[in-house]
C-alpha cells in the first residue's frame, strides 16, 4: 500500500469514490441524478482544488487502485500581533472502500495526515464525524470539543 497526495491523474477514481461513498449511506441521493452530471461537477471541483494549494487529497493506493481517501482544506486565520498565525485544517470525505475496512487502512492514512499536519504546524484539525466513525477518530487521537458554535440557514 502506498500513501500519497492525489494528483490530476487520480481524479476519475476520486469521483467514483465520492459517488459510491454518498450512495452507500444515502442511496436516494442518486435517484434522478445522472452520474455524468455529478461527474462533471465533481471533476471541476477536483481540478480546481488540487491546483489551489488550499485543498489536499490524501490517498491510500493498492496496485494502482485508490482504496481510501481523506480531503483536507486549509483555513487561514487572520494574523494577530505578537503571534505567528498557523492555519487549521478542515478534514472531510474520509472514506475507505468496503473491502479494505477493518484492516487498518483508514488508520494508516489518517496517521499520515496527522504527521503531515504536525510537520506543517497546523493549529488543529477539525472533522464532523458520523455517528459510526466517532470510535475510529477516537482510536486515532481525536476528541470531541465544545467550543465551536454554528448557525444553520
Write the CATH number for 35.
3.40.630.30
Tell me the percentage of the chain whose pLDDT exceeds 70: 100
Residue 153 lies in a domain: no
Instruction: Specify the number of domains making up the chain.
Output: 1
Least confident of 28-32, 33-37, 42-46, 59-63: 28-32
CB-based contacts of 40, cutoff 8 Å, min separation 6: none
* Cβ count within 10 A of residue 41: 11
Instruction: Give yes or no for residue 39 having a pLDDT over 80.
Output: yes
| Residue 79: domain span | 2-139
Residue 150 lies in a domain: no
For the segment 104-114, the average pLDDT, to the nearest whole number, is 97
Residue 60 lies in a domain: yes
* Cβ count within 10 A of residue 69: 24
For the segment 14-27, the average pLDDT, to the nearest whole number, is 90
CB-based contacts of 97, cutoff 8 Å, min separation 6: 17, 20, 67, 68
| Mean pLDDT, rounded, of the chain | 93
Helix (H, G, I), strand (E, B) or coil at 56: strand
Give me the pLDDT at residue 3, please: 98
Pairing of strands 55-62, 88-96: unpaired
Residue 74 lies in a domain: yes
Residue 145 lies in a domain: no
Question: What's the CA angle centered on 111, arms 85 and 51, to 5 degrees?
Answer: 60
Residue 151 lies in a domain: no
Helix (H, G, I), strand (E, B) or coil at 123: coil
Rounded to an integer, what is the distance from CA 2 to the centroid of its chain?
Answer: 17
Instruction: Give yes or no for residue 64 having a pLDDT over 90.
Output: yes
Amino acid at each position: 500500500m502506498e500513501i500519497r497526495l492525489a494528483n490530476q491523474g487520480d481524479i476519475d477514481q476520486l469521483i467514483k469514490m465520492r459517488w459510491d461513498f454518498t450512495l452507500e449511506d444515502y442511496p436516494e441521493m442518486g435517484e434522478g441524478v445522472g452520474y455524468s452530471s455529478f461527474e462533471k461537477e465533481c471533476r471541476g471541483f477536483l481540478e480546481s482544488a488540487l491546483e489551489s494549494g488550499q485543498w489536499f487529497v490524501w490517498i491510500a493506493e493498492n496496485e494502482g487502485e485508490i482504496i481510501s481517501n481523506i480531503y483536507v482544506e486549509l483555513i487561514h486565520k487572520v494574523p494577530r500581533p505578537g503571534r505567528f498565525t498557523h492555519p487549521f485544517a478542515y478534514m472531510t470525505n474520509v472514506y475507505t472502500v468496503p473491502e479494505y475496512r477493518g484492516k487498518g487502512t483508514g488508520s494508516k492514512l489518517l496517521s499520515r495526515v496527522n504527521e503531515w499536519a504536525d510537520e506543517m504546524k497546523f493549529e488543529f484539525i477539525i472533522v464532523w464525524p458520523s455517528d459510526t466513525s466517532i470510535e475510529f477518530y477516537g482510536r486515532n487521537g481525536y476528541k470531541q470539543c465544545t467550543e465551536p458554535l454554528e448557525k444553520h440557514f
